[in-house]
A and B are shown apart, each in its own frame.
Chain A
Amino acid sequence: MGLNRNVSLSTALRYKGQGPFLSFILHRIGGLGMAVFITIHILSVYIEALGWKIGDILNDIYMNWAFQIFIFFCVLFHAINGLRITLLDLFPRLSTYHREALWIEWALFLPVFGLSVIVILATAVGG
Chain B
Amino acid sequence: MQVTLKIFRYNPEVDKKIHYETYNFEAQETDRILDLLEHVKGYFDGTLSFRRSCAHGVCGSDAMRINGRNMLACKVLVRDVGGQITIEPLLGLKIQKDLIVDMEPFFDNYKKVLPWFINDSPLPADERERLQSPQQRARFDDTTKCILCAACTTSCPTFWANDDYLGPAAIVTAHRFIYDSRDEAAAERLHILSETSGVARCHTAYNCTLACPREIEITRAIGELKMSMITGKLD
Contact = CB atoms under 8 A, between A and B. Distances in A.
Interface centre among B205, B221, B226 (most CB of A within 10 A): B205
B203 interface: yes
Interface string B132-172: 00000000000000000000000101001101000000000
Contact of A20 (B69, B210, B220): B210
Contacts of A17: 69, 155, 205-207, 210
Given A5-B92, A5-B93, A16 B220 contact: no
Interface centre among B65, B161, B207 (most CB of A within 10 A): B207
B10 interface: yes
Contact of A24 (B68, B157, B226): B157
Interface string B186-225: 0000000000000000011111011000000101111110
B205 A20 contact: yes
B95 interface: yes
A92 B224 contact: yes
A5 B206 CA distance: 22
Contact of A18 (B12, B210, B223): B210
B155 A92 contact: no
Interface in A1-60: 1-7, 11-12, 14-18, 20-21, 24
Contacts of B10: 3
Interface residues of B, number: 36
Interface centre among A21, A91, A95 (most CB of B within 10 A): A95
Q: How large is the interface on A (under 10, 10 to 19, 20 to 34, 35 or more residues)?
A: 20 to 34
B102 A96 contact: no
Interface centre among B93, B96, B160 (most CB of A within 10 A): B160
Contact of B12 (A2, A4, A7): A2
Given A20-B210, A95-B217, 8 more contacts: A2-B94, A2-B96, A15-B65, A17-B155, A20-B205, A21-B205, A24-B206, A89-B226
Interface of B: 10, 12, 18, 65, 67-69, 91-96, 102, 105, 155, 157, 160-161, 163, 203-207, 209-210, 217, 219-224, 226-227
Please list the 10 inter-chain residue pairs (A to B) with the smallest Cβ-Cβ separation, ordered nearest first.
A92-B223, A20-B206, A95-B220, A2-B94, A16-B68, A7-B160, A24-B205, A1-B12, A16-B69, A17-B207
Interface of A: 1-7, 11-12, 14-18, 20-21, 24, 85, 88-93, 95-96, 98
6 contacts: A2-B94, A15-B65, A89-B204, A92-B220, A92-B226, A96-B220
